[in-house]
């Protein structure tokens, strides 16, 4: 029971089943057909940035890690820039300003870290920079420059997120660095993080609501990735008999999420997936007026018309959801502490977006970057005070990431239903 969330993860008035029915019958089928369309299939990304945090020795050489890139000629969508440069230029200008302000905030944050961080009236001036963009330009992710020659198009339908065999120290380092250095850190081991962050009181060593929300989101994304690799798993051919195949792997799923096999943590992790889903659902709901004005341009008039109808249909379903997340509970009050917390929240998320460049499996890096950008875009929508002004802009890449990231969470919830049927047992979700 955790639909009507007012900020607290356990503050709820309806059941997981309600969300399952809503997603599996209404949202998932619509998203599936929308995401197969050209506008959403082609994602422009720079996969060659390199890890900014530690030297990397070897990139994954497993065949399933490989990403097939598209040449410009293969991409059946026209770039807006070539056609309506005014609109696109305005967006690029917005990102330039947002990036500059973010850099200023980071510099200030570093300076403050070296000083006493307690906030006093005299410190007011120090926060001028933050106040200047507070609520207006939260830049959650490092955005690849879409015009850069290093950015390339990837056809997502030819590079599905699935089992790649990326295991061991490299992904563990990434997850560890995300949870221990970039989620808000209580001093506990990785194994016990879920338990710790699950606390819903502000007493003792429990974290405040915003910090717990941050963890639930990241954990929900982690769950979604691991559900997908279990749902689309590579079974090798058995010594000379038959061919290798891709299929659901119930065993893999249970090993990761069964309460008994995960020291009780699996159900909590599954719940975090639903939490991330609700956050992105609400972001789309909030962005309906903005998205309804967007023309989802591909250069093919009839394709664009059909796509727009499909998007409006999905958005009206999203609007009809009765128990949307109430993001106003977060960063409530106009205090310096809340402003600082918000800036830290943005900065930690921004860091995670950079860690994605350290993922050594190309395909995992592709989907990791896309999903973090999609989640960051959702947060940008939720925490922008007014998205109806021209100050607020989303690039094509952000929109593609937003819908695809939501599509991943939706497809994970759908996959849980498949595992429920395969096991013939209820799946415990905390
Ligand atoms: P991991 O999933 O590596 O988890 C490490 C530790 O984190 C666990 O021991 C546990 O203590 C804790 N943990 C696990 N799940 C959660 C959770 N939901 N919330 C909180 N804590 C948790 N592999 C693929 O096959 N295909 C992919 O597309 C893919 N994409 C990836 C994308 C990224 C960004 C990363 C970092 C990894 C990706 N991987 C992918 C690898 C995959 O996520 C696992 O790391 C890998 O399968 C090894 O799993 P594991 O059982 O060792 O635990």
CB neighbours of 124 closer than 8 A, spacing ≥ 6? 336
Token pair 């933050």 is found at: 130
What is d(CA 265, CA 194) in angstroms, rounded to the nearest whole number? 7
Cα 119 to averaged position of ligand 1 atoms, centre (Å): 38
403-414 b/e (C-beta count within 10 Å ≥ 16 → b): bbbbbbbbbbbb
Query: How far does residue 191's CA lie from ligand 1's centre (Å)?
Result: 13
Query: Which residues are registered as beta bridge partners of 44?
Result: 153
Ligand 1 atom at minimal distance to the Cα of residue 172:
3
Pick from 117-121, 363-367, 375-379: least confident:
117-121
- For residue 221, the ligand 1 atom closest to its alpha carbon is 18
Assembly ipTM: 0.99
- What gap in Å lies between CA 180 and CA 183, rounded to an integer? 6
CA of 172 to the centre of ligand 1 (A): 7
State the pLDDT at residue 85.
44
Establish how many alpha carbons lie within 13 A of residue 115's alpha carbon, considering only the half-sphere containing its beta carbon. 12
Label residue 245 exposed, middle or buried (CB < 10 Å: 0-12, 13-18, 19+).
exposed
169 is in an annotated binding site: no
Question: For the segment 29-75, what is each residue's pLDDT rounded down to a tens digit?
Answer: 999 999 999 999 999 999 988 999 998 866 666 777 888 888 777 78
Query: Could you tell me which residues are beta bridge partners of residue 225?
Result: none
**Other CB atoms closer than 10 Å to residue 199's CB: what's the count?**
15
Q: What is the pLDDT of residues 139-197, one digit of tens each?
A: 788 777 666 778 889 999 999 999 999 999 999 999 999 998 888 765 555 555 555 55
pLDDT of residue 386: 87
What are the residue ranges of helices labelled H in 160-296?
169-176, 193-197, 209-231, 250-257, 266-286, 288-293
Cα gap 394→390, rounded to integer Å: 11
pLDDT score at 14: 57
Helices and strands per DSSP (H, E), number in the chain? 16, 5
In this predicted structure, the answer to whether residue 406 has a pLDDT above a threshold of 90 is yes
Say how far apart CA 67 and CA 23 lie, in whole Å: 29
Q: 41 near 141, Cβ under 8 Å?
A: no
Does the annotation list 219 as a binding residue? yes
For a mutational test of ligand 1's pocket, the pick from 64, 182, 364, i.e. the residue with the most ligand atoms closer than 8 A to its C-beta, is 364
User: 362: burial class by Cβ within 10 Å (0-12, 13-18, 19+)?
Assistant: buried
Pair 38, 26: CB distance under 8 Å:
no
**Comparing C-alpha atoms, which of 175, 113, 102 is closest to residue 140?**
102
Q: State the Rg of the chain over Cα.
A: 21
Res 184: pLDDT: 78
Question: CA-to-CA distance for 292 and 315, rounded, in angstroms?
Answer: 8
Instruction: Judge whether 158 is annotated as a binding position.
Output: no
Indicate the pLDDT class of residue 76, thresholds 50, 70 and 90. Answer: confident
pLDDT digits (tens, 9 = 90+) for 326-347: 888 888 887 888 888 888 889 8
Query: In what helix (H) or strand (E) does residue 20 lie, and over which residues does it extend?
Result: helix 16-21
Residue of 46, 86, 206, 218 lying closest to 140 (CA atoms) = 218
Instruction: Choose the residue to mutate in 63, 161, 169, 171 for probing ligand 1, maximizing ligand atoms within 8 Å of C-beta.
Output: 171
Euclidean distance between CA atoms 213 and 191, whole angstroms: 18
Give the tokens for residue 203. Answer: 């007493």
Ligand 1 centroid from CA 175, angstroms: 7
The answer to whether residue 364 is catalytic is yes
The percentage of the chain sitting over the pLDDT mark of 70, rounded to a whole number, equals 75
SS3 state at 233: strand
* Residue in the structure block whose two tokens are 């977060």: 330
Q: How far is CA 12 from CA 218, 342, 428, in A?
A: 20, 25, 17
Q: How many other β-carbons are positioned within 10 Å of the β-carbon of residue 143?
A: 19
At residue 139, the pLDDT reads 74
What pLDDT, on the 0 to 100 scale, is given for residue 136? Answer: 46
Q: What is the DSSP letter of 204?
A: T
- Partnered with residue 238 across adjacent β-strands are 241
Identify the pLDDT of residue 338: 86
């Amino acid at each position: 029971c955790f639909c009507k969330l007012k900020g607290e993860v356990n503050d709820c008035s309806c059941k997981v089943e309600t969300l399952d029915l809503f997603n599996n019958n209404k949202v998932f089928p619509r998203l599936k057909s929308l995401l197969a369309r050209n506008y959403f299939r082609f994602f422009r990304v720079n996969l060659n940035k390199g890890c900014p945090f530690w030297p990397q020795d070897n990139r994954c050489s497993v065949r399933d890690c490989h990403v097939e890139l598209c040449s410009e000629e293969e991409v059946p969508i026209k770039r807006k820039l070539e056609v309506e440069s005014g609109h696109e230029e305005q967006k690029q200008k917005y990102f330039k300003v947002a990036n500059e302000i973010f850099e200023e905030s980071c510099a200030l944050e570093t300076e403050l870290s070296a000083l006493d961080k307690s906030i006093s009236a005299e410190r007011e001036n120090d926060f001028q920079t933050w106040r200047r963009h507070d609520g207006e330009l939260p830049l959650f992710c490092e955005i690849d420059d879409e015009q850069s020659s290093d950015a390339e198009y990837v056809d997502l339908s030819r590079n599905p997120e699935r089992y790649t065999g990326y295991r061991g120290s490299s992904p563990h380092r990434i997850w560890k660095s995300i949870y221990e250095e970039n989620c808000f850190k209580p001093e506990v081991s990785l194994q016990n993080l879920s338990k710790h962050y699950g606390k819903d009181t502000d007493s003792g060593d429990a974290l405040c609501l915003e910090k717990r929300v941050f963890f639930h989101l990241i954990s929900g994304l982690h769950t979604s990735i691991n559900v997908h690799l279990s749902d689309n798993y590579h079974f090798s051919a058995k010594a000379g008999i038959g061919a290798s195949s891709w299929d659901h792997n119930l065993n893999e799923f249970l090993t990761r999420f069964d309460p008994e096999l995960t020291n009780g943590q699996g159900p909590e992790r599954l719940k975090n997936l639903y939490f991330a889903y609700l956050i992105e659902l609400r972001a789309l709901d909030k962005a309906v007026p903005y998205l309804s004005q967007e023309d989802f341009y591909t250069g093919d008039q009839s394709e664009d018309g059909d796509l727009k109808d499909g998007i409006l249909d999905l958005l009206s379903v999203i609007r009809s959801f009765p128990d949307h997340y109430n993001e106003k509970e977060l960063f409530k009050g106009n205090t310096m502490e809340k402003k600082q917390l918000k800036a830290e929240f943005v900065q930690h998320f921004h860091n995670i977006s950079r860690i994605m460049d350290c993922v050594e499996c190309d395909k995992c890096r592709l989907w990791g970057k896309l999903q973090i950008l999609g989640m960051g875009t959702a947060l940008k929508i939720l925490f922008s005070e007014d998205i109806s002004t021209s100050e607020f802009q989303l690039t094509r890449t952000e929109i593609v990431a937003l819908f695809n990231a939501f599509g991943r969470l939706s497809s994970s919830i759908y996959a849980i239903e498949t595992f429920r049927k395969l096991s013939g047992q209820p799946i415990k979700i905390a």
